[in-house]
Structure 1
Amino acid sequence: MNHLLRTLSLLCLLAVLPLAGAHAQRGDQRQERLSQLENARIAYLTEKIALTPDQAQKFWPLYNEFTAKRRDLNRRLRQLRPADADGLSDQQLRDNINQSFGLRQQEITLEKDYFDKFQRVITVRQVGRLFLAERQFTREVLKRVAGRPGMNAGAADGPDD
């Protein structure tokens, strides 16, 4: 079973990653590639945290809820980072920075809340593996995207949102 999941996740990664960095994509192609990347992430995390079928049924809806909330916080945080800070007053900059602190605190609170919720459906050891596996998956995706010909380092920003 582990070998099957490992093989599946590797095949998904190999199928998705060469496509992940293309810039001239139509909306439907982009959505398909994002869907493939998400499927690869699910397979990767499922294997790394060794979810049983019963755990997976309870875990994935909870995890999807968590990632949606985390992505929303990250989106809001990015919106506070102006392209040209010189165009803002000192008070506007101060307000943006304070709002950024608040959003980062909300993210910490969200992670703590979901740490507790995750422990109700998977073991604490699996939760620990989850957070590590998320970082490993993101690092692997960034490494593969950055290694593509014609890709610059800035093009790999953002998949961990």
Structure 2
Amino acid sequence: MAGLTLLALATSQPARAQGRGRFQQGGARISQLDNAKIAFITSRLTLTQDQAQRFWPMYNEFVARRRELGRSARLLRRDADNPALSDAQLRDNFNQDFAIKQQQLNLEKDYFDKAQKVLTLRQVAQLYQAERDFTKEVLKRVAGQAEPPIGTGQ
């Protein structure tokens, strides 16, 4: 199921709608991708019902915060190419970028500590590997090199 969702997402044509419609379709695609990621991670981790109830809200909060920090970093990098920026403004951008990177590291450490309170250390390691594997699968599918469906473990 997750494989089909991801395959449909990866092979769909870019949205032709303008304005709000395009934004809403992009949001739907992110939602589809998030759902496929949840299914993929679920298939990799063997969570008890108690673990799942405690893990998913924590993980979703982490992903949202990580996404927010990533968006801030991308905006800074985009602005760095502006030839109208003074050296002082560029220096400020670099300092802000370093601060965001530190926030990302702090978030990772905090999440790691929280995850260990819900999951075993082995499950935490499996989670990190599942996230990397999911990203690799998405990139393969987008590039048209997909083999077996996501979640089959092959």
- Quickly name the TM-score band, shorter chain normalised: 0.7 to 0.9
- Structure-2 change in CA distance of 1:29 and 1:92 (3 Å): closer
CA–CA distance in 1 between the matches of 2:121 and 2:85?
A: 45
The 8 Å contact of residues 85 and 93 in structure 1, kept in 2 or not, is answered as no
Q: Within 5 Å, which residues of 2 pair with 1:11-160? A: 11-19=4-12, 22-25=14-17, 26-27=21-22, 28-81=24-77, 82=79, 84-147=81-144
* Distance in 2 of aligned mates of 1:134 and 1:102: 25
Query: What do residues 112-144 of structure 1 show as CA deviations (whole Å, max 9, x unaligned)?
Result: 001010111111111111112112111211221
Are the equivalent residues in 1 in contact too, given 2:7–2:141 (CA < 8 A)? no
Identity fraction in percent: 56
Structure-2-length-normalised TM-score: 0.80
Q: Is the Cα–Cα contact under 8 Å of residues 16 and 33 in structure 1 kept in the other structure?
A: yes
Within the candidate set 2, 9, 14, 2:2 is matched to: 9
Secondary structure of residue in 2 paired with 1:24: coil
2 CA distance for matches of 1:116 and 1:83?
Answer: 34
Cα distance in 2 for partners of 1:140, 1:53 equals 27
**In 1, distance between residues paired with 2:31 and 2:63?**
15
| Range with greater deviation from structure 2 (113-122 or 78-87) | 78-87
Residues 62 and 111, structure 2, Cα contact 8 Å, conserved in 1: yes
In structure 2, runs of 5+ residues without a counterpart are: 146-154
SS of the residue 1:80 aligns to: helix
Per-residue CA deviations over 1:8-41 (Å, capped at 9, x if unaligned) read: 333333343323x624253444333322221111
Change (3 A) 1:14 1:52: farther
Compute the displacement of 1:83 (Å). 6.0
**May I ask how many residue pairs the two structures share in their alignment?**
140
Structure with greater contact order relative to length (CA < 8 Å, sep ≥ 6): 2
Given residue 140 of structure 1, which amino acid in structure 2 is its aligned partner?
E
